[in-house]
Chain A
C-alpha cells in the first residue's frame, strides 16, 4: 500500500467505538477509503423509507438527529436519537439493506467522514464485534421509540451486547403471528366472545365482517377496562366495546416494525391484514418469544412453586428474565415497574409459603390479620435489579394481654420471610429496616403512634426514618390498615408543618454536582475517584423533593414519577419544571440501569458510580441538563419551605 498520510484522522476514527478495537492496518485501509463530506444544516442525509445508506458516517463536527417522520406529536417527526461529534450513523441501515428505517437530518452544519458501504461490510465480516455493535444500535433506537411518542427524551443509556436486534431485523410478522386469529362478528354478545377467548386461550379477539374485513379488536385489557366498567349487560354486542379501527400491519413487515407500531400506538396487539382480510394477530408476547426470554413462563413458575427452596432455586432465572427485559429497553417507568413486579411476586409468594411453613412447624396460622409493607425504593416501586430489603409489618390491634404473644408470632414469621428474601438475592438491610426488627413489627395503633411521634419531633433520626417509612406501600395486606395509616399520617402532617420544613432541608442535603465552572464535580478520592454518584447526586434529590411536596399536598402515591404528576396537577410545580424533572429522573434512571447491566455482564458488582469520561457527548450534555433541573427543584424547595430559617 502507498504511504499513509492521515494519521490524525485515523486517531479520530480510532476513538470512535467500536473502531477502537480494530488493528492499525484495518484502520488505515478504512481511512484511506473515506471521503470528507459537508452537509448544511437541515439537510436530510438519509430518508426514512428511501434507499439504505451507502456509507457509514462518522461525525467529525456538528450533530445529527435520527428521527421517525410522522410518528411524533401532531404527525411531526419523532426524535429517536441524537448523534454528536465522534458518533456514527448509517451503519445499521447499511448492514440491514432494504429501506432505511429512520430519517437522519443534519441538526447543525455537519462535517462527516464517509466510509463506503463495501469497505464497512468487509470490516464487519472480519470483525464480528462491529456488526454486533451496529445491531445493538437498532435496539437503542427502538428503545427510544418505545419510550413514548410524546416524550422527547431519547433513551441513550447504551445497552450494549444485546441479542434482540438480529432476530428483530430478520423475522417477519408472518413467521411470528398467530396464523389462525380468533374472530367474531360485531354483533356477537361480549359474553360469548369472552367464552371463546377463554376456550381458545387467547388474549384478543378480532371483530371482522363476514368477508374478513377487520372492524376492531377486543383484548383482555378491553374486558377489564371497558366491559367490566361499562357494560350494563353481558349480552351487549362486542362492537360496543372493541377498539376500532384496529391497528394493523402487513404480514411481510419486519418484527421490529411491529414493535414500533405497538409502541407508537401504545397497544399490545396488532391485527395482521392482507388484501383487506384478517390473516393473523401479533402480540408483544409473540415478539418477546423471539428474543429468547419468556417472562410469562417465569411468572407462572413463580406462582407454581411449592416451597421456599424451590423459589430460591428459581431466583437465577428470574434474574435472567428481568435482565433480559431490561436489555430489551423501554421507558424508565416501564423498567422500574417491571423490576418491582417481579420482586413483588417473589415477596408475595414467599409470604404465602412462610405462612404454610409456620403452620406446619406447629406455630399455627397468623393470630390476627396483618399487612406486609414495602418501604424505601421498594415502596416507591423504583427498584433496579436487586436492592437491599426495606420492609415492615403491621398487624391488627389486639388487647394488651395478648399483644406480646401476637408480636412474637409475627416476629418469628418476619424473620423467616426476611431470611427467605435474603436467600432469593435481596440482601438484608444494613440499617436494620426489616419486619424482623421488633421496632418495625407493630400493631396498627403502634404504627400510628410511631408516625405521629416522628412527625411531631423532627430531628435527624426521625427525618431519616421518615424518608424511608413514609414511602410505604402494601405488598400484601388482609385489611385496609395502610389506608388508615396513610390518612393518619396526612392528618399528622397537617398539624405539624414544621416537619415539612425540616424534611425539605434534608432534601437539599444532596446537591447536584455542577460546579462553579459547569464542570462535573466528581468524587475526589477513594475507590470511586473521578466518578459521579448517579443515585445520590441525581435521583435522591428528586425523590426527596417529590416526597416533601407529596406529603404537604396529601398525595397518596409513593412513586416519584406519579408524585411529580400529582404535584403538577395541584399546581405546585409548573408544567415545564415537572416535565423536566420527569425527564431528568428517567434519564438518570436509564443510565443507572444500563450501568448496572454492564457491570453484571462484566461480572462486577453494580454500583451507582459513573465516570463522566465514559459517557458520550450527548449523554454528558443530558446529564448536565438533568442536574440543572435538580438544582431548580432545590431552589424551589428552599423558597417554599423557607429552609434558611432552620440551621
Chain B
C-alpha cells in the first residue's frame, strides 16, 4: 500500500470513527501518518524497531510474552529510548517456547497483561515508522489488540526487514546462491554483516540486532541512491 493509499484509508477511517469516544492513545494513533513525506530524506525519518517473543508460531492461539523495541533516529539506535517488558500471555507457555526465549511461567507471573503493555508501547511508538523482522507476525498481534480495543488496526507505516533484505541484500547476489529463506533469518543477516550480538537474546536484544541490521540495509540502500522515504517504502513496506 502506497503512502497515498494509506493516507486515504486513514482519512476514511478518521471520518468513520470521528463521533466515537476514543482512548487518547487511539486518537493519537489516528494521526500516525501525519507529517510523513515521501520525499523526506531517510536521515530525517524516525523508526521504532520491534521484536516480540510469543508462546508459539500460531497467530490464532499464541500470545506475546515479551516486547522489546528501540528507536532509530538519524540512522542511529538510541539506547536511552528503549521499550522492554514481559507480558503475561494469560495462557500456558509451551516447553518448546521456553526453550527458545527462556521466559518461564514464573517469570511472567507478576507481568502485566497484553492490553496494558500494548497501551504503553503505543505511546512509545507515537508516529514513528514501525520496523520488524517478519513484521506481519508482530503486526498481527498488535492489530488483534488494536481491533479489540479501538475497532481499527495500527495506522503507522510498517516496514519489514525481511522484504528489505530480499530487495537490498539478496538482490546483489547474482547467482542466487543465498536466495533462500534461511538467508533472511535475523541470525543469518547479523552474521552476514558481522554484527556480534551486543546483548542477550531477549526481545529487546533482538530488537537491537534488528535495528542494527536495518541500519546496515539503510546504508546499502542509500549507497545505491535510495535516500528518500519513498525509496525505502518501495523495498520494505509491508504489503
Question: Which of these binds chain A: B147-155, B171-179, B197-205?
Answer: B197-205
| Chain B residues whose CB sits within 8 angstroms of the CB of A111 once the complex forms | 195, 212
A34 on the interface (CB 8 Å rule)? yes
A34 to B, closest residue via Cβ = B79
Q: Which of A7, A12, A109 has the most CB of B within 10 A?
A: A109
Report whether B198 and A8 are in contact in the complex, using a CB–CB cutoff of 8 Å: yes
Question: Which of these binds chain A: B70-78, B88-96, B135-143, B224-232?
Answer: B70-78
Residues of B within 8 A of A (CB): 75-80, 82, 84, 193-196, 198-200, 204, 208, 211-212, 215-216, 219, 223
Interface majority SS (helix, strand, loop, mixed), chain B: mixed
Given contacts A8-B198, A61-B196, contact A37 B223 (CB under 8 A): no
Report whether B200 and A114 are in contact in the complex, using a CB–CB cutoff of 8 Å: no
Report whether A35 and B76 are in contact in the complex, using a CB–CB cutoff of 8 Å: yes
| Chain A residues whose CB sits within 8 angstroms of the CB of B215 once the complex forms | 36-38
How distant is the Cα of A289 from the Cα of B1 in the complex, in angstroms?
71
Please, what's the 1-or-0 string for A1-24, where 1 marks a CB less than 8 Å from any CB in chain B?
001011111001000000000000
Shortest Cβ gap from B193 to chain A (Å): 8
How distant is the Cα of A60 from the Cα of B77 in the complex, in angstroms?
14
| Chain B residues whose CB sits within 8 angstroms of the CB of A31 once the complex forms | 79
A113 to B, closest residue via Cβ = B79
Residues of A within 8 A of B (CB): 3, 5-9, 12, 31-38, 40, 60-61, 109, 111, 113-114
| Chain A residues whose CB sits within 8 angstroms of the CB of B194 once the complex forms | 61, 109
Report whether B198 and A32 are in contact in the complex, using a CB–CB cutoff of 8 Å: no
Report whether A7 and B199 are in contact in the complex, using a CB–CB cutoff of 8 Å: yes
Given contacts A8-B199, A60-B198, A111-B212, contact A37 B219 (CB under 8 A): no
How distant is the Cα of A32 from the Cα of B204 in the complex, in angstroms?
14
| Chain B residues whose CB sits within 8 angstroms of the CB of A40 once the complex forms | 219, 223
Report whether B77 and A35 are in contact in the complex, using a CB–CB cutoff of 8 Å: yes
| Chain A residues whose CB sits within 8 angstroms of the CB of B212 once the complex forms | 36, 38, 111
The one of A35, A38, A109 in contact with B79, judged by C-beta atoms closer than 8 angstroms, is: A35
| Chain A residues whose CB sits within 8 angstroms of the CB of B204 once the complex forms | 5
B83 to A, closest residue via Cβ = A5
Shortest Cβ gap from A112 to chain B (Å): 9
| Chain B residues whose CB sits within 8 angstroms of the CB of A38 once the complex forms | 75, 212, 215-216, 219
How distant is the Cα of A40 from the Cα of B75 in the complex, in angstroms?
12
The one of A8, A9, A36 in contact with B211, judged by C-beta atoms closer than 8 angstroms, is: A36
| Chain B residues whose CB sits within 8 angstroms of the CB of A3 once the complex forms | 84
Q: Which of B79, B194, B198, B208 has the most CB of A within 10 A?
A: B79
Report whether B79 and A36 are in contact in the complex, using a CB–CB cutoff of 8 Å: yes
| Chain A residues whose CB sits within 8 angstroms of the CB of B82 once the complex forms | 5-6
Given contacts A9-B199, A111-B212, contact A36 B76 (CB under 8 A): yes
Top 7 closest A-B pairs, CB basis?
A36-B77, A35-B76, A32-B80, A37-B76, A38-B215, A34-B79, A8-B199
Q: Which of B75, B76, B194 has the most CB of A within 10 A?
A: B76
How distant is the Cα of A60 from the Cα of B208 in the complex, in angstroms?
14
Report whether A8 and B77 are in contact in the complex, using a CB–CB cutoff of 8 Å: no
Known: A36-B76, A36-B77. 15 other contacts (CB 8 A): A5-B199, A6-B79, A6-B82, A6-B199, A9-B199, A12-B198, A35-B78, A36-B79, A36-B198, A38-B215, A61-B195, A61-B196, A109-B194, A113-B79, A114-B76
